[in-house]
Each structure stands twice: as C-alpha cells, then as structure tokens.
Chains A and B, each alone.
Chain A
C-alpha cells in the first residue's frame, strides 16, 4: 500500500550530508529518471536565497477554518495538531504543512518558528503564507513558503492531523520522505530512493563541474552535453587528476 517509510528506518547522517552538497535542480533530474516527474513543489520558495534544508518530513495538515470552531480556545489548545507538531517534530526533521496553496493568510508565524528553531527542527516548508516575515528572516530559521502574508493562521486554516500523507505545492508528501530545499525551491525524495538518488546526483554534479570547465574552455555542446563516450573517457581521467 502506501510507502512504509518507517520500516526503512532513518536515513544515515552521511546521506543527509551528501544531499546538502547537491542542488535541488540535480535531484529533480534524477527523480525524473525514475519516472517521478513532479516532485518539485509549485510556488514554494526560501524566504532568503542562501537557505538550504535537508531532512525527513514531519507533516501537518490544515483544512479550511470554520468560524464556529476555529476559535482562540481551539487554536491555542496545546492538544491541537499544530501545537503538537511544534512540540514533537523531531530535531533534524523538516515540518511540512499542507496549506492547500492558499496564500491570503499565514500558515506559520514568528513565535512558533522560533520554538521549532530552538528545538532543533531543520526547517519548515509550507504551500501558504508566512507572517512576522522579517523576524523569521533575520532569525536564520529556514522557511520555504509562498510569500509573506499578514493575517493570522486561524482566519484561514483549521489544523486536523499530523504525521499523515499530505499534499504540499501540488506534490505528495509521506511522513519520512526526504525534503531538500535550496534557492530554487523544494523537492521531495521518496524514502526508499534516497541513497540511490544521493549517489547518482553527487556523481552527476561532479561530472558537470568537468563539463562546465570544458564549455569554459570553448567546447561546443555537441558531444559534451550530454557527454559522448569520448567525453566520458576524458572525464574519467580528469577525475583521477582531481
């Protein structure tokens, strides 16, 4: 049935480290080779272009707020899925929020962001708005969202559950999938493919350093990108020297 990410266990720290060195662009290309053509979130961007995140997804799901029940007594209750998520998302995880791509109010604000940052959460990804934008921006906490939005969360969203499969930026996210974000946006790697993708992507990026060098030296694209047999042989000997 659904991918049982928990059976596969946590991703090794060195794999996470590898992914930190790889761009979301390369990862997206590698996923496409596995037939996964749409794992890059639509309209979800870092609040600062230098931000980078890598970590397993911890999910939170919102549905539209309902005026009679999405009231302060509910939203501030420590038992709401949103408050629980903030308090229990594991250190190193990426909190991913399903905001249904609604951007006219915030899905997240400054104080909850700060709490997650202090708890060692890797970052937050949401297909909604962020309030207290400047404050979060200067805190250095990596948030990837659709942009700033001033109105509070509870005018738009009602949290219903966490640690369940969700949609975010038109991409499916299962708890434990690996989330990677950089200045271009956010991509989701199915848990079972992580090790394979990390190695293939690292290899691809190394090869591209060589190819860029050749283009800089005046080589045409033909036979270089994509590399011909001969170019690949050249690359192998280049690799020995580097």
Chain B
C-alpha cells in the first residue's frame, strides 16, 4: 500500500486562535473566500446539521467506508477490536472533527447515540458524514454537533463496510485531507485547506465586520449602489465607523 498525496504532506501546526476566529464566522462567508481562490466546491453537498443551531470547527480526522459485503460485514466483524470505525472513534483526537466517507448513501445510520456519546466524552468537536445518523433524538439532546444527510433508522452494516482511517476521502462530493479545517453551521459544511485556514479566517472575520457595517447602512435606508459591493467611499466610511466603535 502506498500513500502519495499533497493535501497536507506534513500537517502544519495551527494557531488555536484560528479555530476561535472561525467559530465566529459563517460558512457563507468562508465559502465565498474559498470560491475566490478558485474552488468550485467549497462546501459539501447535502450535508446538514441535525439541529439548526449546531456549529462545528476543527481539523479533520477521517474514516472511509466502501459498500458492505454480507459475508464479511458480520456482527463478529462489528465487535472486532481492529474494526476501523471502532478504532477511529477511540483515536480521533480531542478537538478534531470526525469526517466519514459514506459515498452519499443514506439508507442507514453511520453512527448512533452510543458512538456519538463516546466521541463527545472523548472531547471530539463533532462528526460530519455524507450518510445517515440514527438514534438522532439522543444525539440532538446531548448537543453533540452532528452533520449528515438525514436521520435514518437502520444500522450501517446493511450498506457500509469500514476500511481505513486518516486517509484522504470524499465527503459530500468534496475532497477532505486529514488535517483540513472543517467548519459547519446551519447552511452546511466547508472544507478549508489547512495551509489557508489562518488567512481565510482573518479575511472572513474582516468581511463579516464590513458586512455588519453595510447591514447597518441598509437598515438606515441606504441603497445598495456603491454600498454592496462597497466602493472606496463606503470602505472609507467603514474605517471611520470602526474607529467610532472602539
């Protein structure tokens, strides 16, 4: 087996402040920043929080499924200590987001209440997957940030077989490399290449600040011309507004 990918060849350290900044900005703003850098798919397709107020930010730790095979996707396999899903749940680092490649299939719940509870107790930031989640009532009640295609009842061995973890994967038709920064909110989930996280966080924070000023102007009856997008004069006005705010 050979691995060769240039996503995050050596996972560069990330200032914890970047995670904090990203917690304060929306996926809408972040996806604009990614789109400006040429990304056709800055967000996962169809992946949504189980509850609208859920927010998740953290580096990706990945798990990969392929279609199940009834002769090997057995209960004995499910209980095996080397079962990649069990291992992922026990080794996903604190503060990380467990991102699972379920190939966009949502006929079964990739995880349920017990798996989520264990992740939560271990300090994992949340889970993101392009499949279903089961026992969602409990997952929601415990406030564990969980993002998926929908709530579904059946267990995952009916359609999935876990094969490896911490490898590059596809999730929601977006590539995810271990260590990429995941941001999820009401509108879905963004994947930020790790080396761009600090820059994008700062730009997103700035953009939202300008937008707060623009919203304020619009509320006061301003037209959008010259205001959104802001021209030089509006930006100068924003700088003054910012000073006044301090």
Residues of A within 8 A of B (CB): 1-3, 34-38, 63-69, 74, 79-81, 84, 100, 158, 160-167, 170-173, 190
Contact = CB atoms under 8 A, between A and B. Distances in A.
A68 B191 CA distance: 13
Contacts of B1: 161-164
Nearest to A68: B193
Top 6 closest pairs, chain A to chain B, by CB = A63-B175, A64-B175, A165-B163, A167-B66, A67-B38, A63-B170
A158 B5 CA distance: 9
Contact of B3 (A37, A65, A69, A161): A161
A105 to B, nearest CB: 12
Nearest to B41: A64
B168 A35 contact: no
Nearest to A62: B170
A164 B168 CA distance: 13
B167 to A, nearest CB: 7
B233 interface: no
B229 interface: no
Of the candidates A37, A167, A173, the one having the most CB atoms from chain B within 10 angstroms of its own CB is: A167
A80 B4 contact: yes
Contacts of B7: 66, 69
Interface in B47-86: 66-72, 77, 80, 82-83
A172 B174 contact: no
B167 A162 contact: no
Chain B interface main SS type:
loop
Interface residues of B, number: 36
B169 interface: yes
A1 B103 contact: no
Contacts of B225: none
A84 B3 CA distance: 11
B164 interface: yes
A2 to B, nearest CB: 7
A84 B170 contact: no
B2 A172 contact: no
B241 interface: no
Chain A interface main SS type:
loop
Contacts of B67: 38, 167, 170-172
B228 interface: no
11 contacts: A1-B80, A35-B71, A36-B70, A36-B71, A64-B41, A69-B6, A160-B5, A162-B2, A165-B164, A170-B67, A172-B69
Contacts of B70: 35-37
A226 to B, nearest CB: 24
Nearest to B103: A167
Nearest to B68: A172
B170 A64 contact: yes
A163 B4 CA distance: 12
Contact of A172 (B66, B83, B173): B66
B246 interface: no
Interface in B27-55: 37-41
Given A165-B66, A170-B67, A84 B2 contact: yes
B39 A100 contact: no
Contacts of A66: 7, 39, 175, 193
Nearest to B38: A67
A158 B168 CA distance: 10
A223 to B, nearest CB: 32
A158 B6 CA distance: 10
A1 B81 CA distance: 10
Interface string B143-173: 0000000000000000001011001111001
A64 B4 CA distance: 15
A100 B68 CA distance: 15
A3 B71 CA distance: 10
Contacts of B169: 63
Contacts of B103: 100, 167
A46 to B, nearest CB: 22
A161 B2 contact: yes
Contact of A81 (B4, B72, B173): B4
A210 B215 CA distance: 81
Nearest to A3: B72
Nearest to A98: B66
A29 to B, nearest CB: 16
